[in-house]
Chain A
Amino acid sequence: MTAPRETPAWRRLFGPATLFLLPALLFLGVFLAYPALYSVVRSLFDASGSQFVGLGNYTRMFTDDRTLVAIRNTGIWVLVAPALVTGLGLVFAVLTERVRWATAFRVLLFMPMAISLFASGIIFRLVYDENPDRGVVNAAVVTVHDVFASPSEYPGARPRGDELAEDTALGGFTTTRAYTVGEAAALPLVGIRPSEMPEQAAPAAVPDAAEGTIEGVVWLDIALGGEPGTVDDGENGMPRMTIEALKDGQVAATTTSGDDGRFTLTGLDQGEYEIHLTADNFTAPFRGLTWLGPTLVTPVIISSWVWIMTGFAITFIAAGLAAIPRDALEAARVDGATEWQVFRKITIPLLGPLLLVVFVTLMINVLKIFDLVFVIAPGSVQADASVVALRMWQVSFGAGGNQGLGSALVVLLLVLVLPIMYFNIRRFRRERS
């Protein structure tokens, strides 16, 4: 008997198995391994690609302000967005599970997924437009606000000349000098379009001084060809202005101007008083929030991503819910568990692995977020809203083509994805065993 012949080493290496694997290996090598490795190598060279700079690009990456902002923002995204979407997805999936029109609800919530991120971005840029005439969010905010606080009569009005000055302590405007009781005051204001004056406004007139009171007039001093600081023909008084007499910062008398802008401060002891036009005459109309300004832009973009991705989470989680054994839930209910207990102690543990998959998928998705930020942030705040992927594109292709620094940013993204990948692979292994 001869011992079974051993396969020669060369046949084991270049045997049929290897031959069959070769095409796949080639593809993986050319399209995945090589670009990844080359990015690492490229990140060690300067912009032109000819000068070896070692870790220079990495040092620059972590010292450049705009890149640091991008890294910080990516951090915020990763911490907030996937958790929010997974949570919302779970809530919606459970809530819609036993509704009669569950499928209709889910289709509705899934619909944003069918729109490209770019198009959604354009929509959200409009939704959050600062101008309440265009942006629906600010339109709503302003409407609600104006229900509780009516807009003032003269927003944006300001004094002309030196008669009045801004009052830093009380707001509004206060005269720069004190008036003695028995004197008359003429207080010119500008900054209001004549067509936007209250309808009852009548031509202004300087009142005569009177014993025991301070007489005065507040008027819109803007007649064409008129002289600044004097009441000219065609200049109207400003009705319904709240006016106070101040002594040592204390209000001594209050009055309201008439249709011709005239007012009389009465009940004053002899002495000198400053005249104060209260701030609520001039409160600028509430125009909503600057959603797309430097402070709010990242939360706003995250909210639109949540709008888009929640449908994705719902679909997966709803499928998972359907697969949960009914008898476990029924048993719990029979044993007297409340719905909340069923949710906490049965549904969530059974869904656990699935929630993790959804969460991790979203996390990878968030790390490469690019188009939403690019579209929604106005040019002036793009630097404040930037994320690593956007910065990478800008540095390598948008601005001057520094692909060395760009590659360093790609490597950073790769490093950030690696732990998630490792985690995923370990989980796959565990599931198989």
Chain B
Amino acid sequence: MAGAWTEIGSVDGTAYGVYLKVANKSLVWYNDDLFAETGAVPPETWEDFVGLSEDLADVGIPPLSIAGADGWVLTDWFENVYLQTAGPEMYDKLAAHEIPWTDPSVEVALETLAEVWGQEQLMLGGGDGSLQTDFPTSVVNVYSDDPDAAMVVGADFIGGVVTASTNADVGGVAQVFPFPHVGGEGEAVVVAGDAAVAMTDGEATMELLRFLATEEAAREWAAIGGFVSPNRNLTADDYADPVLGQVAEQIVLAGDSVRFDLSDLQPAAFGATVGDGMWQTLQDFLADPSDVEGTMERLEDEAARAHGE
């Protein structure tokens, strides 16, 4: 496990928990049938991603389905772009509100986002239609029997929605590629996860935690499925599901460049409230992606208030 994970499980340098089950939030899910039909290949860089989206729009397939009605979907977009354009150190500073949201790095990230959000034909239903789409619907739009869009950006748990709500199968029609690289920052992954936390330091407790963190325990669970481990000794082959193997590999490759979901690190008023804070401001930004300046100011206002400054 990379050192970044120990840090996420620690408070003021004391380790309290072991991250053993993690979620990869830096993925783009695509409909392989539509990709095959158009000859599209998964892009690696942001330029390729935008280019591919434009090509798909040219052949009459709306490239992206975005669940703009759910603010957290938009914060995930932002976090991925920001982590890539500004790098992990700046990401930590912004998460702790050590730099303001009016920082130039935020402007770069928002302008990068606007390259996609500003082009109506790249989003199913345009910006307004996206704002009416909730998360499960956005997934169904891509994987229904008569798909309306080719890609949906989101975490590995989209696989669960695909299995539950559509006839598509994960690994077949439903495939993933890593969130495209923006600039030359290399692998970086936005994550979330479940930690095993010790409430006492009894011998048995410690032994259990130690075991859960081992390669042996992780391999056991990975073979069953529905599980992604941050353990770097596991390879894609250890996973029952090839898509999850790919997802896990991406996390391990990112090493110390994994960062916990930024909005989840904010006070709830700013990072996790319907109609407020980051959620609402990014929704407003999706409705009008030309207003980078105003968006930054509003984000800073609300962040300052929520952080009690």
Contact = CB atoms under 8 A, between A and B. Distances in A.
A398 B269 CA distance: 7
B39 A224 contact: yes
Contacts of B280: 380, 383
B26 to A, nearest CB: 22
A129 B128 CA distance: 13
Quick one: which of B68, B121, B267, B280 has the most chain A CB within 10 A? Answer: B280
A192 B56 CA distance: 10
Interface string A205-224: 00000000000000000101
Given A379-B279, A380-B69, A382-B275, A222 B129 contact: no
Contact of B129 (A130, A158, A386): A130
A190 B59 CA distance: 6
B76 to A, nearest CB: 14
A380 B132 contact: yes
B71 A380 contact: yes
Interface in B175-211: none
Interface residues of A, number: 32
A431 B68 CA distance: 55
Interface in A157-199: 158, 160, 190-194, 196
Contacts of B129: 130
Nearest to B124: A131
Nearest to B72: A379
A398 B132 contact: no
Contact of A383 (B38, B128, B275): B275
A66 interface: yes
B269 A191 contact: no
B291 interface: no
A76 B105 CA distance: 42
A16 to B, nearest CB: 54
B131 A381 contact: yes
Interface in B109-143: 121, 125, 128-129, 131-132, 134
A156 B121 contact: yes
A193 B69 contact: no
Contact of B132 (A378, A401, A402): A378
A398 B59 contact: no
Interface in B237-295: 267-270, 273-277, 279-280, 283
Contacts of A398: 268, 273-274, 276
A143 interface: no
B61 interface: yes
B60 interface: yes
B57 to A, nearest CB: 7
B25 to A, nearest CB: 18
Contact of A400 (B69, B125, B306): B306
Nearest to B37: A195
B264 to A, nearest CB: 14
Contacts of A66: 275-276
A106 B125 CA distance: 41
B58 interface: yes
B121 A158 contact: yes
Contacts of A193: 59-61
A290 interface: yes
A293 interface: yes
B285 to A, nearest CB: 11
Interface in B66-122: 68-71, 121
A394 B275 contact: yes
B93 to A, nearest CB: 22
Contacts of B38: 224
Interface string A292-305: 11000000000000
A268 to B, nearest CB: 32
A292 B61 contact: no
Contacts of A381: 131
A399 interface: yes
B132 A191 contact: no
B73 to A, nearest CB: 9
A263 B39 CA distance: 31
Contact of A191 (B60, B267, B283, B308): B60
Contacts of B128: 290, 293
A380 B61 contact: no
Given A224-B39, A382-B274, A196 B283 contact: no
A225 B40 CA distance: 11
Interface string A358-385: 0000000000000000000011111100
Nearest to B71: A379
Contacts of B274: 379, 382, 394, 398
A339 B242 CA distance: 76
A160 B57 CA distance: 12
A158 B58 CA distance: 8
16 contacts: A66-B275, A130-B129, A190-B59, A191-B60, A193-B59, A196-B60, A225-B39, A290-B132, A293-B132, A378-B69, A380-B69, A382-B274, A399-B268, A399-B277, A400-B269, A401-B268
Given A222-B59, A379-B134, A379-B274, 13 more contacts: A130-B125, A130-B129, A160-B58, A192-B59, A222-B58, A292-B132, A379-B275, A380-B131, A380-B132, A398-B276, A399-B269, A400-B267, A400-B269
Q: Which 9 A-B pairs have the closest CB atoms?
A: A400-B269, A193-B60, A399-B269, A383-B275, A378-B69, A399-B273, A190-B58, A382-B275, A380-B131
Interface of B: 38-39, 57-61, 68-71, 121, 125, 128-129, 131-132, 134, 267-270, 273-277, 279-280, 283, 306, 308
